[in-house]
Amino acid sequence: MLGVRTSLSIGQNVSLRSFNLLKPSLKSSNFSRFLAYQRSVTIKTARSLLTNDLIFKRQFMNTSIKKASKWNNRVFYADGSDRYTRLNRFQQYYDNGNDGKDNSIRNVTIIGLASMVGIYFGSPYLFEYVPGFSYFKTHPKAFVYSLLGVNLAVYGLWQLPRCWGFMQKYMLLQKSRIPSNWSIVGSAFSHQEFWHLGMNMLALWSFGTSIASMLGTAKFFSLYMNSAIAGSLFSLWYPRIARMALMGPSLGASGALFGVLGCFSYLVPHAQILLFVFPIPGGAWIAFLGSVAWNAAGCVLRWGSFDYAAHLGGSAIGVLYGWYISKQVEKRRQERFERETRWLR
């Protein structure tokens, strides 16, 4: 598995049977009156508990941004086996920094596509003339290490409760409402759990250092960022196109990483790659096609909690970059061949 982008959701089922409302009938009128009074109190208590539980469920399912002044320790210290509860523990800390106004998916899509175009054409100038970035032009591996550092720093911010309001707004891709247009970028650098961060950063280190040296820093930056943005846009549009209930928020760098894998496998299809320590037969391209089939099946069958649509979006951009770069290489090779053989004509 190259990397994962998790999609979060949670729900609770409440049964009135758990409140034990049924009582045995009594013949004594006094006891009957007492029992009727007790039953009415019990029913009111049950309704109150049920209402509170449904409100609690709604906050998790819709992940709507609401103000909360106190942290609920019951969820933070929940059973460690409940992965969804642990992943959603940050969702109770809300910030209403955008005054309750949502950004429509249409506006987010326009901004995302415009950003992709700007990144593609602006990357060469960024690493050529901007101080700080120009260093990475001749040190592509150092740029990959800097991406590792940024992801690690964002993971660290998730561990600080005072930062949760900011992180929820900018570093989490929410489906039901979008508090910030730039969450399509921030969520691609965001991880809440160490295993998630570790798997994705291992993949970035494995493939990123190689393809950054092959393409150069500017092209690698363009590939990485545009794959991340495309993954976020696919993640937002997929539930609407499939007409399914909106999934929970998602985060993770795997959209960008599947783009890196797609480009790498297109350019070097027979390169041997390892799944941890086990070689994958058939080379990089076969492994990539297998990942595409896995993600497509995940979108259709909706198994697990991974954001398969984001994986597919990043994969599509990676293949597109690989195809375009291979055409450029072939064109330059043909021009060089014509120059070298011109004197023979």
Q: Which residues are tagged catalytic?
A: 254, 311
Torsion angle of C-alpha atoms 54, 60, 62, 66, degrees rounded to 10: 100
Burial class (CB in 10 A: 0-12, 13-18, 19+), 84: middle
Rounded (5°) CA angle 296-298-300:
75
The DSSP letter of residue 173 is B
Burial class (CB in 10 A: 0-12, 13-18, 19+), 62: middle
CA distances to 11, 182, 306 from 228, rounded to whole Å, are 29, 12, 15
Closest CA to 210 of 221, 220, 222: 220
- 275 Cβ contact partners less than 8 Å away, ≥ 6 residues apart: 1, 287
Contact 94, 197 (CB under 8 A): no
Distance CA 198, CA 196 (A): 5
Burial class (CB in 10 A: 0-12, 13-18, 19+), 96: middle
Kindly tell me the sign of the dihedral angle through the C-alpha atoms of 94, 96, 100, 105: negative
Bridge-based pairing of strands 6-7 and 278-279 is unpaired
Question: φ, ψ for residue 266 (rounded to 5)?
Answer: -70, -40
CB atoms within 10 A of CB 251: 31
